[in-house]
């Protein structure tokens, strides 16, 4: 992966279609950027024996948060988070919406949308987390 690119998520979408969500750390994720990434990644995957189709795309507005660095980078942004187990300090809930108040090595703090309470969530407990950006801002 080029230095200006970050792989956010890789997933198989409908059969042999491999979807790569990439972010451009130095500019927009446009057609030129995704084409350049596809040109770098395709030969490597072919060398490894992958024969399916590849789609390179922007992470989009609801950008997945897949590693601790993402939570650090997007501190102060609103996110939707689902956990594998109920979080006791949040009344046994598994689904949350709030602002990422801080992030550390083991987890992050989410300031809940509905009441402003802060809940600590470990990265190991997260099954899905995405930014929840307001396009009307």
H or E, element range at 73: helix 68-73
Confidence of residue 99 (pLDDT cuts 50, 70, 90): very high
The CATH architecture to which 68-131 belongs is Roll (2.30)
Which pairs with CB-CB distance under 8 Å and at least 24 residues apart come from 95-99?
96/121, 97/132
- Which one, of 86, 102, 71, lies nearest residue 111 by Cα? 102
Give the whole-angstrom CA distance, residue 89 versus residue 42: 46
Rg of the chain taking only CA atoms, in angstroms: 17
pLDDT tens-digit profile of 117-137? 999 999 999 999 999 976 555
Q: Which residue has the higher pLDDT, 14 or 75?
A: 75
User: Average pLDDT for residues 87-100, to the nearest whole number?
Assistant: 87
Answer whether 0.95 is exceeded by the pTM. Answer: no
Confidence of residue 29 (pLDDT cuts 50, 70, 90): very high
Confidence of residue 87 (pLDDT cuts 50, 70, 90): confident
The C-alpha angle with vertex 77 and arms to 59 and 3, in degrees rounded to 5, equals 45
Confidence (pLDDT) at 88: 73
Confidence (pLDDT) at 3: 84
Indicate where the chain has its CATH 2.30.30.100 domain(s): 68-131
Cross-strand partners of 28: none
Q: Is the dihedral of CA 65, 76, 84, 114 positive or negative?
A: negative
pLDDT tens-digit profile of 36-86? 999 999 999 999 999 899 999 999 889 999 999 999 999 999 999 999 999
Confidence (pLDDT) at 134: 63
């Amino acid at each position: 992966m080029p230095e200006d690119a970050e792989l956010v998520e890789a997933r198989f979408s409908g059969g042999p279609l491999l979807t790569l969500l990439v972010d451009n750390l130095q500019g927009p994720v446009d057609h030129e950027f995704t084409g350049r990434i596809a040109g770098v990644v395709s030969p490597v995957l072919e060398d490894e024996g992958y024969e399916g189709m590849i789609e390179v795309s922007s992470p989009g507005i609801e950008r997945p948060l897949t590693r601790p660095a993402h939570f650090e980078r997007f501190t102060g942004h609103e996110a939707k988070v689902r956990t594998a187990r109920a979080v006791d300090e949040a009344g046994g809930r598994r689904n949350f919406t709030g602002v990422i108040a801080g992030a550390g090595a083991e987890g992050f703090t989410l300031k809940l949308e509905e009441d402003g309470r802060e809940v600590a969530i470990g990265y190991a407990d997260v099954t899905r987390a995405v930014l929840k950006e307001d396009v009307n801002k």
